[in-house]
Chains A and B, each alone.
Chain A
């Protein structure tokens, strides 16, 4: 499996990572090497094998649907690069 420049540009956008144009080509090479190595899984027949999402041999526990946490606005905002009036602040999104 080989990834070209445009594919890398697209996944970098999906992942919201700025990759400069001059880095796209070398990155495409590196990622292609890794994907090529991963390709070996395709030789294995996995028909009828259940996909394993978790090794924990248990059902996810449930609890009563009640508020167990909260009233800690200032602690939540404490590390924000920009916070105003009790909210996270971001660049303008609506014109």
Chain B
């Protein structure tokens, strides 16, 4: 039998339907792979018992001929930001020590109802704050890819972040697919670094209920998969209206897979001129040009567009996101869950707990957030940033009058070595320069692996779509994917 850990969701789904193998066999193969791949540190918690139990249930459903879900028997990993009933949930933070949720997040519950089999909880940057997966209390994740030439040969590379564990797990065959969350690029940038597909849906497409909150006006869950088809399958299983999240959109979930017609003739693809930045890596520019040629060859029309407020997006994000984070993370007080570090008074206990429980980057962002929300600075920073956010969202609104999707690079570089850029927070923030504007506007964005750098490392291209038009986005992404012919199952292993 073929190595079961090389299949895509679509292939395994068909194999299960034809009874080529069972869900239990799939789960067993992946449990073995997860154990053999521990050196990557992709998982914080492995849940082989849960996986085997759900795989057995799936096999039973199939044997009895009862209804099966869209992902029945397919083994996936869950970013450890989703609350999972009875399974340790850490957000990669010391402050959530020992937290076992008595409830299940809506997205993970939806996936479970669709029959998906959970292999474990994947590593991430602490509270999803980071772009290299180096702020995790549980240690950094290693990118399964290695440089074949250049200055970084032999070095362990960052998988990107914050969904670095999910990206590394999918790239290394330690999960068939994984959930991610994206606040400013946390699905798309690690997908680019690890050579997989990562989709941040429209804000409101997937419920945020039961997902540990970072910045509530930006956070959105999405699929991280080997292929665009898999992203379509998994998004369909994750999405849907949820009365428990007041920002969840009360609209029907389309059949995303049916949108993959392969036909993009006549579609208009926008190329934002502001994304050609000074000092841009020529390799990234060349890949971006190639992406335009691929889409043109498939019958799309390329149009230059302008998103004039692009250069202000990162600064806006680094006011809005920390402000919301400082409010959201106020709940970690040593009283209701997780870590408590004793103190002489209640205040003392709060301060000791939060001083020890939060890592450096999380503390930095809470402090920035507290500062921009404090009296005397609120208007100058927070309200100002919200006004600029309106301008950025309007840029996209105007552009989408003329185009159907927008094509950009996903990240300004390939994966960099673990430990680099650590000293300078602002240099780290620049990783998200191409992904943050989409997040601020709440639009869907997908990173598709499009090529290799001269050193043999994956590079992704990003497509951005209209709000709630993931169908067009996925259709164009699939066309770009087949033109790119990215070497999926191989590069990561050798």
Contact = CB atoms under 8 A, between A and B. Distances in A.
Given A54-B217, A81-B338, A90-B349, A27 B367 contact: yes
B287 to A, nearest CB: 28
A71 interface: no
Given A33-B425, A53-B386, A81-B340, A15 B249 contact: no
A67 interface: no
Contacts of A33: 424-426
A84 B45 CA distance: 30
Nearest to A89: B335
Interface of A is mostly: loop
Contacts of B203: 55-56
A55 B215 CA distance: 13
A6 B282 CA distance: 45
Taking residues whose C-beta sits less than 8 angstroms from the other chain, chain A's interface range is 35 or more
A63 B443 CA distance: 27
Interface in B370-391: 370-371, 374, 380-381, 383-391
Interface of B is mostly: helix
A30 to B, nearest CB: 6
Given A27-B367, A31-B371, A49 B335 contact: no
Contacts of A88: 335-336
A70 interface: no
B442 A55 contact: yes
A66 interface: no
Nearest to B216: A54
Nearest to A88: B335
Given A46-B391, A54-B217, A88-B335, A38 B315 contact: yes
Contacts of A79: 98-102, 336-338
A23 B318 CA distance: 22
Nearest to B336: A80
Interface of B: 98-103, 203-204, 217, 243, 246-247, 249-250, 309, 311-312, 315-316, 318-319, 326, 333-340, 342-352, 354-356, 358, 363-364, 366-368, 370-371, 374, 380-381, 383-391, 393, 424-426, 440-442, 467
Across the A-B interface, give the 7 residue pairs with the lowest CB-CB distance, nearest first.
Answer: A55-B442, A18-B355, A51-B386, A81-B340, A79-B337, A46-B387, A75-B102
